[in-house]
Amino acid sequence: MTKRSIVAVLIVAALLLIPSCDAETFMRKFGTNVLGGVGGAETINQLEEQIDLIIGGEENPEEPSYDKIVDLVVKATRNPDTESKMLESLSKTTTEASETIRTEVDTILAEVNKNMDSDISFDDFTDENIDSLLESIESSEDIPSGLKNTAKTAVNDLKKLVDGINGVEGAYTPTKGDVVIIKSIASVADTILAELNKSEGEDVDVDKVVDAANEALKMFNTVKSSTVFSNLDLNGVIDELMSSLNSPEPDEGETGEGTTEGEETV
């Protein structure tokens, strides 16, 4: 299979954070620390510093580290009290995050455009296009019926975020948690594109892509309550997709229920 022929599958799978059947690979890192919240305040402060570096952009001499953000989130989840305080911190709204999210999304799309021969940007997320997407979801025969409501929830959440970033009066204000989610998606996209841009003859490491998606899934489930996507159930998406993939297909030669090739229906 050529790199070009698998690009769409990998990008869609990873950006939707669809992990492998064994999602425990990454989740084992998110253990429970029963010894208490030692160093909890320091962990949260360090996490806020990393997010502020992302939002501050070129004004900050220090480069933010997504890997460090992951490690700090993992550390915070080891104690319920620290995790609760972390989510409270990530729920802080910040208008400065709007331009950061717009830039991150455009960076992701620019790289995707190179591989997909497309021309999509943040500015294409207009009310008209989003409404059209909602209609397409409802009428689509390719999307399992059990996923349509979840897909529409995701699109409506996206619309809230876009309106907030565009400064629509009375709209949702992005949070620090939203910045973390976008960085998670960017990390997955970077992993995919790095694999796709390997030299000819080098195999695409699908396991590496799946591991990155697993990591992003756990990150999403951990911080989503502090984001615009708080009501989005990706685990339900995964269950529905796996159910669809495992559904038995009609035997070869069947032309209808209880009818095989050569038989006529009345």
Q: Per-residue pLDDT tens for 161-172? A: 999 999 888 899
pLDDT in tens, the chain (266 residues): 444 444 444 444 444 444 333 444 444 444 444 444 456 899 999 999 999 998 876 555 577 888 999 999 999 999 999 999 999 999 999 888 888 899 888 888 888 788 777 788 888 888 898 899 899 988 988 888 888 888 888 889 989 999 999 988 889 999 999 999 998 888 888 888 888 777 777 887 878 878 888 888 889 899 999 999 998 888 777 777 667 656 555 455 554 444 444 444 43
Phi/psi zone of residue 38: left (φ > 0), alpha (ψ -120 to 50 degrees), beta?
Answer: beta
Q: What is the mean pLDDT of the chain?
A: 77
Distance CA 78, CA 113 (A): 39
